[in-house]
Amino acid sequence: MPKTSRKRKIIANLLNKHRFVLINDTTFAEVFSVRLTPINVLMLISSLLLLFSLLVLLLLAYTPMQAIVPNAVKFESRQELLELNQKIEDLSRKLEVRENKQEVLNTILAGKERIFDSTSVRPTKKQ
């Protein structure tokens, strides 16, 4: 079958009109009726899908639900993370200095005869 006749057949099938009817089962009265074509149904489904996608996008962009999306960090949160990281680095430096001071005090209190410089925790060289 040639391609052109196949395309014409598909287009003709998309333009065929069908009737969708809802009938009350007990009285057999027609409740609702509408004429549809397959192309109209495709357009309706695609527009509903587009609206649903837009709604989800808006919900994720402008509500607290944006925390669901990974790597979605606001500028304020990034600044807060940087500040917290700086505080952690400062505290680790202070802890290291305190540990060094405690080590020096423990060696002095233990009576080990090491000579320390009075301004730092580094041992001085004996002359």
Q: How far apart are the first and last CA of the chain?
A: 105
Residue span of the structural domain in which 104 resides: 73-127
52 has pLDDT over 50? yes
Percentage with pLDDT > 90 across the chain: 44
Domain C-terminal end among 17, 36, 68: 68
Q: Residue 92's pLDDT is what?
A: 97
Domain C-terminal end among 68, 86, 114: 68
Domain co-membership, 121 together with 99: yes
| C-alpha to C-alpha distance for 34 and 42, rounded to whole angstroms | 15
Q: Within 13 Å, how many C-alpha atoms sit on residue 112's CB side?
A: 10
Q: Number of folded domains in the chain?
A: 2
Domain C-terminal end among 68, 93, 115: 68
Q: How confident is the model at residue 91 (pLDDT cuts 50, 70, 90)?
A: very high
Mean confidence (pLDDT) of the chain: 84
Q: Is 126 or 21 the better-scoring residue by pLDDT? A: 21
Q: Is 32 or 77 the better-scoring residue by pLDDT? A: 32
